[in-house]
Amino acid sequence: MNAYKTYITIADPKQLVLSDLPFKAGQRVEVIILTDDNQKITLAEELKKLFKEIQAIHADNPLTDEEIAAEIEAYRRGE
């Protein structure tokens, strides 16, 4: 199967117009429509920001190894 990839911007959500395609008249093609997922990019940026905030909190008030071990044990006990 050959693949042809192109990008367009939707002008009218009720119709999609493809033009200047490299296919012959009457040739059967399969059409799959994928969208750019800007939400993933936004979520990744928000996650990076959250990591920086958490790192800043930790830098101002670092946990000791004993505090970390105590939190792990409390979690394992279901607390």
Domain boundaries, the chain: 38-76
pLDDT for the residue 71: 94
Strand ranges (DSSP E) for the chain? Answer: none
Please give the model's pTM, rounded to 2 decimal places.
0.41
pLDDT bracket for residue 34 (50, 70, 90): confident
Q: Residues with Cβ < 8 Å from 10, sequence gap 6 or more?
A: 16
Over residues 58-72, mean pLDDT: 89
As a whole-number percent, the residues of the chain with pLDDT over 70 amount to: 100
Q: How far apart are CA 23 and CA 6, in angstroms?
A: 13
